[in-house]
Amino acid sequence: MIFEQLAGNLIQGLVLGAIYGMATMGLSLIFGVLKVVNVGHGAFIMVGAFITLWLFTTFGINPIFAIPFAFIVGMCLGFFFYYSTMKRLIKAPELSTLLATFAIGVLLEEIVKLIFGSEFRGYNWVVGKVSLGVTVLPMAKIYACIGSILIAVLLYLWFKKTRAGTAMRSVVEDDEGARVCGVNVGWIYALSFAIGIGLVVASGVLLTMFIPVGINPYMGGAYTLKAFVIAVLGGLASPYGAFFGGLVFGLIENGSYTLFALLPGVEPFALTRFLSFVILLLILLIRPTGLLRAK
């Protein structure tokens, strides 16, 4: 019985891990190009969740069609915050960018609270289920997983096949060398920040397809923590590593929850969060570069 439950939770964790990985790709992309750690990461996930909620409850729009809309909104937010704030902090001390991104996250949370209120919300999108023997997966979760994989593949192809993607990789390698070769480094910084934020906001849509309840302005904190663990797990400056790190983290999170539930007198959910910190510490001690180094 316990092995059947563990197998089912691992499948659920793999699906959720794909969404975690896609969300963390934006964090890793921004750090890889701009060397900026976005501690307001979770607030942008929250924005994507509210975009989905608003489109679904107001207009009845399928959450799948909210993905491109959320990505465009995220890119617009990325360009706005880059040119209004982050552009002035490129090459600034790390504390300056940490405070700036933290302030951006708080600003977004308070704006959303002002518009929608602070209560928990959710929506009900029923599109059928698939039985896998050891577990039952709602089709919404499968769509979210497929969407995450498709976005990751598209980002990979964009990096490898387009001039802008090649320019971005050259800036990651050596921004001064790229500037000498004629690359508009300032524009690449802005584009990288915008795409990174766009990915994070779009991941908020995918996350609500997996967990359509508990949407509120302050929901992002837990996901910020998970994103940092995943980013370090996969290599902080490697978007591809972040995606695979998300898969690994999803397996660990759901698998450990099943095992912790067997221990008497403990709260399994609290222990899985504790385990996140333990994983982060061990990786930093044993392999600081993560599973995959930035390319």
Global model pTM greater than 0.85? yes
**Residues in Cβ contact with 84 at an 8 Å cutoff, skipping those fewer than 6 apart:** none
Cβ atoms of 88 and 100 within 8 Å: the answer is no
Task: Give the H/E segment covering residue 130.
Answer: strand 129-131
What DSSP state is assigned to residue 129?
E
Task: Give the H/E segment covering residue 114.
Answer: helix 94-116
Going by C-alpha positions, the residue among 100, 101, 128, 82 that lies closest to residue 44 is 101
Exposed, middle or buried: residue 207 (CB in 10 Å: 0-12, 13-18, 19+)?
buried
Task: Give the H/E segment covering residue 137.
Answer: strand 136-138
Beta bridge partners of 129: 138
Q: At what angle do helices 63-84 and 185-210 cross, to 10 degrees?
A: 150
Cα 138 to Cα 128: distance, rounded to the nearest angstrom: 6
The pLDDT profile of the chain, 295 residues, written as one tens digit per residue, is 677 888 888 898 899 999 999 999 999 999 989 989 999 999 999 999 999 999 999 999 999 999 999 999 999 999 999 999 999 988 888 889 999 999 999 999 999 999 999 999 999 888 889 988 888 889 999 999 999 999 999 999 998 889 999 999 899 888 888 898 889 999 999 999 999 999 999 999 999 998 888 999 999 988 998 898 888 888 777 788 889 889 988 888 888 887 787 788 778 877 887 887 787 788 778 877 666 554 4
What is the SS3 string spanning 237-291?
A: CCHHHHHHHHHHHHHHHHHHHHHHCCCCCCCHHHHHHHHHHHHHHHHHHHCCCCC
